[in-house]
Amino acid sequence: MNAAGRLEVGVVVGCHGVRGGVRIKLHDPASRALVSGRAVVLCDAQQQQHGHTVESVAPVPGKPGLWRVQLRDVQDRDAADALVGLRVEVERAALPQPDADEFYLADAMGLPVRRRRGEIVDELGSVVGLTSNGAQDLFEIGYRARDGRRRTWLLPVLPGFVVDVTRDAVWVDPPLGLVPDELDATAEPQA
């Protein structure tokens, strides 16, 4: 969440049609954050903000989490194309308050993923995306491998696996074998 009390719910990934429609990829494929009449703020990397109102919204068939959105003041493809790559934020107050044992998946975006084993804290990467396998939500966790390449691994967002989500980190307790061997200090040394 940003300092202005908004929650990042997705990103503009493309245009749709010639009348200014955009395609928005939501971080949580099951999110209902985009509805007609809702105010959204689009932000770029320099934190410049552009306020808009959702005119209409419809899912893209066969693409979970991808939505066709018409914004009231975006009337042509050139204007829509200028929005590609911007983050989509919604006022947290416009969304239902999660229960004490719940959190918004978007709150985890960008946070480091950590596991506590007694006094030891393992750094397991950071949340770079959200996906779903149809049965459950999954965190995509990115890390830099020993060979210097960026890699990802998936963690089911389940009560036993995700212990807590704080402002500073996602605390996890994944089952044996789920964490990549090069990150897992409890894995057997390889000969």
Residues 119 and 41 in one domain: no
187 pLDDT tier (thresholds 50, 70, 90) = low
User: Which tens digits make up the pLDDT trace of 96-117?
Assistant: 778 777 887 878 888 999 999 8
Question: In terms of domains, do 117 and 87 share one?
Answer: no
Asked whether residue 182 is domain-assigned, the answer is: no
CATH of the domain at 47: 2.40.30.60
Q: Give tens-digit pLDDT for 107-161.
A: 888 899 999 988 999 999 999 988 877 678 889 999 999 899 999 999 999 988 9
CATH number at residue 110: 2.30.30.240
Last residue of a domain, one of 67, 93, 119: 93
Q: Report whether pLDDT(63) > 90.
A: no
pTM: 0.63
| Residues 151, 83 share a domain | no
Domain check: are 87 and 11 in the same one? yes
Q: Please answer whether residues 114 and 177 qualify as being in contact, where contact means their C-beta atoms are separated by less than 8 angstroms.
A: no
The alpha carbon of 166 is separated from its chain's Cα centroid by a whole number of angstroms, namely 15
Residue 57: which domain range?
A: 6-93
Same domain, 34 and 87: yes
Same domain, 156 and 87: no
pLDDT class of 3 with cuts at 50, 70, 90: very low
- Asked whether residue 189 is assigned to any structural domain, the reply reads no
From 68, 93, 118, the end of a domain falls on 93
**72 in the same domain as 28:** yes
Q: pLDDT tens across 173-182, in order?
A: 999 889 998 8
Instruction: Band the pLDDT of 170: cuts 50, 70, 90.
Output: very high
